[in-house]
Structure 1
Amino acid sequence: MAMAYGPDTRDREHRGAGTGFGAKAPVTRFLPAPLRAPLEGRTWRELLYTLLSFPLSTVMFCFSITMVSMSAGLLVTFIGIPVLAVGLAFCRGFGVLERHRARALLGVEVDDPERVRGKTGGAMSWMGSILKSGVSWRHLLYTLLHFPWSTFTFVVAITVWSTGLTALTYPLWFWLFPLFGGQGGIQLYGDETHREYLDTPFELAVAGGIGLVLVMAAPWIVRGLLVVDRLMVTGLLGPSTLATRVSELESDRGVVVDTAAADLRRIERDLHDGAQARLVALAMDLGLAKEKLTDDPEAAARMVDEAHSEVKVALQELRDLARGIHPAVLTDRGLDAALSSISSRCTVPVQVSVDLDTRPAQAIEGIAYFTVSELLQNISKHSRATRATVDVWRAADRLMLQVTDNGRGGASPESGGGLAGLAERLDAVDGVLVVDSPAGGPTTVTAELPWRG
């Protein structure tokens, strides 16, 4: 989601990317876009893509039609099936070429679909896999649909560019006609008694003006036509939506597993280095006190008193650890009370506003709590802020969290660290983390989670 959220808690207006610390400065352009387009490398790459599409699509269209027709005619025998499988395999190979061509000339990033693998590794298994693959049939459909469209775009591009360049440069080579052609210029009309040529200064100027307009319009015409090519490449030659979603879920599952393992290691480390160490020391002190109980009751009493203090510290550490796993106040009283509790422990004053009619699912509520907790810890450690706000509200089927501070800014999840890990955790549950933190502040971090009530 490419949205940025302003400092106001209800401001969802798009503020544009690149405002954070380390963003690239905008490039200064001296010419407006209409005048700059014919000179840009992108324009000539798109024209090259259009010119190459016609011969490539013609070859693949003829090949696909031939293979499909041949396989249909041979279906009465077994030969038709392998012929169709080979044809589909060649279509997939053509798709590889088209994806590379789209990346290089159009800048379209399309992931490669899954490769066809037979379950048993034999020829029959491979044929069955390629015939059952929806990707193979989408590649075949691409070869059939792309041919008429590439023919149309080729004709339009050649016509517009050749006409525009001819008319634009006509005043420069007008002298060639009477000198070498024996006529007075480009002939507009002619019969046995009368002929009209473009030969007056006014007509030359009009022709050049028309050519200039066509040359400036040609890149945009071709670019508009190539929108269809981009849609066909991404829609027919890329992985299916289901395969993409499965890949995302596998990645998210890995993030969840790694996060759970990291949390378990943290809990084990906190228990080992904190409460467990104190309880071991407490047991040793109580053992010594027991030995001194008859010989030196006063020393034993002092040791018991010290042990009592250690018990209180150990209990507090265990409470903090339990609160870090899942706070009881969140379970009992919800986000409003839980966020107010962690805000009171922040080193800067925090204003909390929770506008929820009902409570979301416990898992989402827990993620929201720990998200705000980590963001407030970042404010305490790194922001140098003097105040902060926490706002929580529901927007349709999404739970929105926004944490703002007036610190030094410059925070970015792209630099790694806590924000990057937090973004991965939210992404694992179809959530989004948006950071708006220009150098000098203020910093606004917005988290969006599914409601799942």
Structure 2
Amino acid sequence: MTAGMAERTDPMTADHRYDTQPRSRTRALPPVLRAPLEGRTWRELGWIVLSLPMSILFFVFAVTMTSVSAGLLVTFVGIPLLAGTFAALRGLGAVERMRARALLDADVAAPGPVSGGRGGFGGWLAGTLKSGVSWRHLLYSLLHFPWAVFGFSLVVPLWTAGWTLLLYPLWQWTLPLYGGQDGIQLYGDGTHNYYLDSPLEIAATSVIGLLLTLATPWVIRGLSSVDRLMVVGLLGPSRLASRVVELESDRGVVVDTAAADLRRIERDLHDGAQARLVALAMDLGLAKEKLLEDPEAAAAMVDEAHGEVKVALQELRDLARGIHPAVLTDRGLDAALSAVASRCAVPVQVEVDLDRRPAAAIEGIAYFTVSELLQNISKHARATRARVEVWRVEDRLMLQVRDDGRGGADATGGSGLAGLAERLGAVDGVLAVDSPAGGPTTVTAELPWRG
């Protein structure tokens, strides 16, 4: 058993699909030749060009207002003025996030609102001054200005010179006609002048321009990646705040899942075993009344009640297995998944490669994940066979369920797979679905080990 998802292949899931859509002429070019023509390059160039005036606005406002606020701290005016400066910087940060979303393809979430504490103006004032978001916006204002100046000073000359030299053969004729010189002047001291005017020199100039034009997009991308990191790290929510929001969401999912499971258990008990036991009690009461009058009829009713007891016991076993199967507790995932596979409507091959057992909670989630996926295969996939693999990669438990069915499984919206993904996400797990129309379907789940 290999340790990586990408290395785990199976003839059943080999998918030799070819792209029948015609490729655009731009896409047919190598990346080096394609880069100057791509929209991404022009968008990131627009970001760098616009960053200079935006950073000047940020920097001047931040330095001026912070200095004035610091100078007025000896009075009461300085503190609310500094808080107002921070609030204005958050507004400018929102403009930068929108600009990054449009030009850098960086969808940065807005940081959370200022915590007002006990409320009122005093609470807002204290929350603004203590907020790490406020100070990160100030830091962005100070750091982005020199970086924007550097990026503008490097990229604009490179980009302009590249295209100017590349297109030199097209506009060289304007120099002798309107400029009074034979070409681009490389040297001149009043006595000796050297111009790029011969065909070979013009061609060499165009080649140099081509090299600059091909190299500049990669310079732009390198500079933009730093800008993207600055926007995400300084203008977005902190990692701690994002983690808190994620945990709050996961807690809601866990609570909802537990409530749904309790409702399911209550419904199964009410509609299944409880109803059967009520009917059984009534049958036994009738048998008791007929015991003296008609012993044979009473015996037949007791015999029928005995059969109902067996059915009720089986329903209770199934319900207990749905809550937590005893075989999982006693023998682990290998035996438990084999038992689930034996009840599937299609033949299932199970392979579990674990040197030891994960945490009990993770083991239970893994079991119910595979169980639900196999139920989906039985009900919807129209498959002829399936395969379940379980292995460990460092501190992660990996599950993969594959079938050769009709495909088209959807993990979005309100589908069962979407609910399963939410349950896995509640414990920092991930669910990936690869199910093209016509099949095959591969569902991979990743869970923390926590053993």
TM-score by length of 2: 0.92
- Secondary structure of residue in 1 paired with 2:68: helix
Q: Deviations over 1:168-194 (max 9, x none)?
A: 232222222222222222211111321
Q: Structure 2 CA distance, aligned partners of 1:293 and 1:305?
A: 13
Deviation of 1:139 (Å): 0.4
**Where does structure 1 differ by over 6 angstroms across 4 or more consecutive aligned residues?**
24-27
When residues 10 and 88 of structure 1 are mapped into structure 2, their CA distance, relative to the original with a 3 A threshold, is closer
Q: Structure 2 CA distance, aligned partners of 1:432 and 1:83?
A: 46
The more displaced of 140-149 and 441-450 is 441-450
> Which ranges in structure 2 are unaligned for 5 or more consecutive residues?
9-13
Deviation of 1:416 (Å): 4.2
* Aligned equivalent of 2:59, options 58, 61, 65: 61
Q: Deviations over 1:162-217 (max 9, x none)?
A: 11222123222222222222222221111132111111111111112222222233
* Aligned equivalent of 2:6, options 13, 19, 22: 13
Q: Deviations over 1:231-253 (max 9, x none)?
A: 00001000000100001101111
Q: Deviations over 1:73-111 (max 9, x none)?
A: 223333322222222122111101100000011111000
Q: Structure 1 CA distance, aligned partners of 2:377 and 2:223?
A: 49
Q: Structure 1 CA distance, aligned partners of 2:446 and 2:355?
A: 17
When residues 28 and 117 of structure 1 are mapped into structure 2, their CA distance, relative to the original with a 3 A threshold, is same
When residues 237 and 401 of structure 1 are mapped into structure 2, their CA distance, relative to the original with a 3 A threshold, is same
Counterpart amino acid of 1:401?
A: L
Q: Structure 2 CA distance, aligned partners of 1:395 and 1:231?
A: 29
> Which ranges in structure 1 are unaligned for 5 or more consecutive residues?
1-7
Q: Structure 1 CA distance, aligned partners of 2:285 and 2:110?
A: 68
- Secondary structure of residue in 1 paired with 2:436: coil
1:239 and 2:225 correspond: no
Q: Which residue of 1 aligns with 2:70?
A: 72
Q: Structure 1 CA distance, aligned partners of 2:126 and 2:411?
A: 45
Deviation of 1:288 (Å): 1.9
1:264 and 2:259 correspond: no
- Secondary structure of residue in 1 paired with 2:412: helix
1:252 and 2:263 correspond: no
Q: Structure 2 CA distance, aligned partners of 1:175 and 1:433?
A: 63
Q: Which residue of 2 aligns with 1:279?
A: 277
The equivalences for 1:38-57 within 5 A come to: 38-57=36-55
The equivalences for 1:11-410 within 5 A come to: 11-13=4-6, 28-31=23-26, 32=29, 33-410=31-408
Q: Structure 1 CA distance, aligned partners of 2:61 and 2:338?
A: 69
Q: Which residue of 2 aligns with 1:4?
A: none
Q: Structure 1 CA distance, aligned partners of 2:2 and 2:21?
A: 28
Q: Structure 2 CA distance, aligned partners of 1:60 and 1:25?
A: 50
Deviation of 1:428 (Å): 0.6
Deviation of 1:130 (Å): 0.6
When residues 107 and 237 of structure 1 are mapped into structure 2, their CA distance, relative to the original with a 3 A threshold, is same
Counterpart amino acid of 2:278?
A: V
Q: Structure 1 CA distance, aligned partners of 2:4 and 2:46?
A: 44
Q: Structure 2 CA distance, aligned partners of 1:308 and 1:156?
A: 89
Q: Which residue of 1 aligns with 2:11?
A: none
When residues 388 and 337 of structure 1 are mapped into structure 2, their CA distance, relative to the original with a 3 A threshold, is same
- Secondary structure of residue in 1 paired with 2:159: helix
Q: Deviations over 1:294-335 (max 9, x none)?
A: 222222221111111111111111111111111112122222
When residues 175 and 354 of structure 1 are mapped into structure 2, their CA distance, relative to the original with a 3 A threshold, is closer
- Secondary structure of residue in 1 paired with 2:442: strand
Q: Which residue of 2 aligns with 1:451?
A: 449
Q: Which residue of 2 aligns with 1:432?
A: 430
Deviation of 1:410 (Å): 2.8
The more displaced of 202-211 and 128-137 is 202-211
Q: Structure 2 CA distance, aligned partners of 1:93 and 1:100?
A: 11
The more displaced of 305-314 and 181-190 is 181-190
When residues 9 and 202 of structure 1 are mapped into structure 2, their CA distance, relative to the original with a 3 A threshold, is closer
Q: Structure 1 CA distance, aligned partners of 2:170 and 2:336?
A: 78
- Does the Cα contact within 8 Å between 2:116 and 2:126 map onto a contact in 1? yes
Deviation of 1:61 (Å): 0.5
- Secondary structure of residue in 2 paired with 1:414: coil
The more displaced of 244-253 and 419-428 is 419-428
Deviation of 1:123 (Å): 2.5
- Does the Cα contact within 8 Å between 2:3 and 2:393 map onto a contact in 1? no
- Secondary structure of residue in 2 paired with 1:434: strand
Deviation of 1:11 (Å): 5.0
Give the number of equivalent residue pairs.
442
- Does the Cα contact within 8 Å between 2:3 and 2:392 map onto a contact in 1? no
The more displaced of 57-66 and 169-178 is 169-178
Deviation of 1:10 (Å): 5.1
Q: Structure 2 CA distance, aligned partners of 1:90 and 1:27?
A: 50
The more displaced of 49-58 and 342-351 is 342-351
Q: Deviations over 1:42-92 (max 9, x none)?
A: 222222211111011112101111122222222333332222222212211
When residues 151 and 36 of structure 1 are mapped into structure 2, their CA distance, relative to the original with a 3 A threshold, is same
Q: Structure 2 CA distance, aligned partners of 1:428 and 1:27?
A: 42
Q: Structure 2 CA distance, aligned partners of 1:14 and 1:156?
A: 43
Q: Structure 2 CA distance, aligned partners of 1:262 and 1:385?
A: 29
Deviation of 1:25 (Å): 8.2
- Secondary structure of residue in 1 paired with 2:428: coil
Counterpart amino acid of 2:120?
A: G
When residues 39 and 398 of structure 1 are mapped into structure 2, their CA distance, relative to the original with a 3 A threshold, is closer
When residues 415 and 14 of structure 1 are mapped into structure 2, their CA distance, relative to the original with a 3 A threshold, is farther
- Secondary structure of residue in 1 paired with 2:286: helix
TM-score by length of 1: 0.91
- Does the Cα contact within 8 Å between 2:383 and 2:405 map onto a contact in 1? yes
The more displaced of 91-100 and 441-450 is 441-450
When residues 234 and 274 of structure 1 are mapped into structure 2, their CA distance, relative to the original with a 3 A threshold, is same
- Does the Cα contact within 8 Å between 1:9 and 1:402 map onto a contact in 2? no
- Does the Cα contact within 8 Å between 2:347 and 2:385 map onto a contact in 1? yes
- Does the Cα contact within 8 Å between 1:9 and 1:391 map onto a contact in 2? no
